[in-house]
Amino acid sequence: MESVELSRYLTMLTLSVHVIFATVGVGVPIMITIAHWLGLKRQDEHYLLLAKRWARGYVISVAVGVVTGTAIALQLALLWPRFMEFAGQLVALPLFMETFAFFFEAIFLGIYLYTWNRFKNPKHHFYLLAPVVLGSAMSALFITSVNAFMNVPQGFTLIGGQLTNIQPLVAMFNPAMPTKVAHVLTSAYMTTAFILASIAAYHLLKGNRHEYHRKALALTMKIALIFSIATALVGDLSGKYLAEYQPEKLAAAEWHFETEGEAPLVLYGVLTEKNEVKYAFKIPYALSILVHSNPFGVVTGLNDIPKEYHPPYEIHYFFDIMVTIGIWLTFLSLVYFIALWRNWSFIKTKIFRILLVTSGPLAMIAIEAGWWFTEVGRQPWIMRGFMQTAEGATDSPHVGIMFVAFAVLYLILLIGTAVVLTRMFKKNPVELELEKDSIEQRSVAK
């Protein structure tokens, strides 16, 4: 295999691992903030403990997120030296600002973790979360803007291989950026909420009747519902953006070959070698409605785009996975919310709880599928319209062996994280910790 292919696979591997921890890294701070705030407001030790325990688990995921993030930051130059040489002049600003935001977050997270009970006014400790939430959201914003730039490069003029008229802010605030950032943030909050809900549901499923887990489940599912709806709305805007700026990606995702009005939305199915779609659900007019909010709107098809610029047609499956899971989880959280409100008891059945337990992992699969869709969907470009992927890659012959080394590393990291996290919480169950806290408080009261 050539270095280009291997570099692509290694980048994909690193990012696929990193995105797990990055998503959690963006999402958990806001969950901790909500729980901590509720705890202070209602004087409820259960919510305070939720914040404390989430924060403790969060540290492990941050650690792995930091190291995989360092890996991808360095790999960008190691695997794509020519691309970074070129793009470095255009996107250095958001890359630089991303590290500032992360630095800010890292500092305050460290302070927050080590200052429980060190402030006389507990609210001062709570305020430390603001820079953590802000820092994590800002670093997502800056890094996503770099990715958005690769999809819609702008803010410069290329004359005979020379870059002129460079405008860093125009490059950063490109048309892809608003929808991308919004989709990344809402889906990260949504996924994290479902993951934490999964944990609570797991304890309830195992027969634990503690008030703590019920509160955790109700809280996280409500947050999950809000962000599922937000994610879906932003996803719709992303589709409209694609139709306008990257029609080839949308057309490949939808297996939409003929440019036509009244375009149907294609779900599932398989593609034959002659590019015929079989066994698929077709929702008439839906694609036109999605793109133009008008059932008769004309949608560009793949046949009107030069063949060498077609993305791989497999991205259709990634798109389907993402959308299907998104809709299913929105529906699940809506049902849960209504049932909670109307006091229906079927949400306490075993089957429903199993569904809740699967929601977190499903959301994470959707995140992965979504990133694969967007990244594979801009092939053959590394910078759409300016540089093809093969032109940006390294010509080093050692990429293969590095791929193996990193694959082993990530396996160790993933297993390690899973083992450590389960042990951490199994050895120190909620009941034990609540008891310890109340003993401490009584001794303080005396």
Partner 1 sequence: MTLEVIGISVLWLFLFGYVIVASIDFGAGFFNASTIVTRKHHIVNSVIQRYLSPVWEITNVFLVFFFVGMIGFFPKTAYYFGTVLLVPISISIILLALRGSYYAFGTYGTKGHVGYTLMYGVTGVLIPASLSTALIVSQGGFIRETPTGGIELDFLSLFTSPFAWSIVALSLVSVLFISASFLAYYSSVAEDIEALNLFRRYTWIWSFPTIVTAMGIIIEMKWHNPTHYEGMLSLWWLFALSLVCFIASLWLLKKRHYGRSFIFVVLQFAIAFYAYGVSRYPYLLYPNLTIYDGFTNETMAYALITAFVFGFMLLIPSLYLVFKLFIMNKPYIQKRNS
Q: Does 157 bind partner 1 (CB under 8 A)?
A: no
Determine if 395 is a binding residue for partner 1 (CB under 8 A): yes
Q: Which of 12, 13, 40, 84 binds partner 1 (CB under 8 A)?
A: 84
Q: How many residues bind partner 1 (CB under 8 A)?
A: 72
- 24 is a site residue for partner 1 (CB under 8 A): no
For the packed helices 399-426 and 45-79, what is the interaxial angle rounded to 10 degrees?
A: 170
> Is residue 81 involved in binding partner 1 (CB under 8 A)?
yes
Verify binding: residue 208, partner 1, rule CB under 8 A.
no
Q: Does 66 bind partner 1 (CB under 8 A)?
A: yes
Nearest distance, CB of residue 145 and partner 1, angstroms: 13
Per CB under 8 A, which region of 236-244, 315-323, 396-404, 437-445 contacts partner 1? 396-404
- Residue environment code for 244-255, b if the CB has 16+ CB neighbours within 10 A, otherwise e: ebbbbbbbbbbb
**Cα separations in angstroms, 293 against 282, 286, 287:** 18, 9, 9
SS (H, E, C) the chain: CCHHHHHHHHHHHHHHHHHHHHHHHHHHHHHHHHHHHHHHHHCCHHHHHHHHHHHHHHHHHHHHHHHHHHHHHHHHHHHCHHHHHHHHHHHHHHHHHHHHHHHHHHHHHHHHHCCCCCCCCHHHHHHCHHHHHHHHHHHHHHHHHHHHHHHCCCCCEEECCEEECCCHHHHHCCCCHHHHHHHHHHHHHHHHHHHHHHHHHHHHHCCCCCHHHHHHHHHHHHHHHHHHHHHHHHHHHHHHHHHHHCHHHHHHHHCCCCCECCCCEEECCEECCCCCEECCEEECCHHHHHHHCCCCCCECCHHHCCHHHCCCCCHHHHHHHHHHHHHHHHHHHHHHHHHHHHCCCHHHCHHHHHHHHHHHHHHHHHHHHHHHHHHHCCCCEEECCCEEHHHHCCCCCCHHHHHHHHHHHHHHHHHHHHHHHHHHHHCCCHHHHHHHHHHHHHHHHC
Among 276, 277, 275, CA closest to 266: 277
Decide: is 33 part of the binding site for partner 1 (CB under 8 A). Answer: no
Q: Which is nearer to partner 1, 130 or 237 (CB)?
A: 130
Q: Is 70 near partner 1 (CB under 8 A)?
A: yes
Asked if 74 interacts with partner 1 (CB under 8 A), we say yes
Nearer to partner 1 (CB atom), residue 237 or residue 401: 401
Q: How far is the CB of 417 from partner 1 (least distance, A)?
A: 7
| Residue whose CB is less far from partner 1, 63 or 229 | 63
86 binds partner 1 (CB under 8 A): yes
Q: Does 173 bind partner 1 (CB under 8 A)?
A: no
Q: How many CA atoms lie within 13 A of 338 on its CB side?
A: 5
Q: Which of 124, 206, 348, 423 binds partner 1 (CB under 8 A)?
A: 423
Closest among 101, 240, 125, 134 to 179, alpha carbons compared: 240
Subset of residues 284 to 313 that bind partner 1, contact rule: CB under 8 A: none
The residue within the footprint of partner 1, chosen from 20, 35, 79, 332 (CB under 8 A), is: 79
85 sits near partner 1 (criterion: CB under 8 A): yes
Among 80, 212, 372, 373, the residue binding partner 1 under the rule CB under 8 A is 80
Q: Which is nearer to partner 1, 166 or 283 (CB)?
A: 166
Q: Is residue 49 within the footprint of partner 1 (CB under 8 A)?
A: no
Residue 75 makes contact with partner 1 by CB under 8 A: yes
Residue 163 touches partner 1, criterion: CB under 8 A? yes
Q: CB of 420: closest distance to partner 1 in angstroms?
A: 3
* 168 is a site residue for partner 1 (CB under 8 A): yes
* Residue from 15, 34, 129, 399 binding partner 1 (CB under 8 A): 399
Instruction: Name which of 167 and 303 has its Cβ closer to partner 1.
Output: 167
Check binding of 147 to partner 1 (CB under 8 A).
no
Residue 116 near partner 1 by CB under 8 A? no
Whose Cβ is closer to partner 1: residue 342's or residue 426's?
Answer: 426
Which is closer to partner 1, CB of 108 or CB of 189?
A: 108
Q: Which is nearer to partner 1, 76 or 332 (CB)?
A: 76
277 binds partner 1 (CB under 8 A): no
Q: Is 12 in the site for partner 1 (CB under 8 A)?
A: no
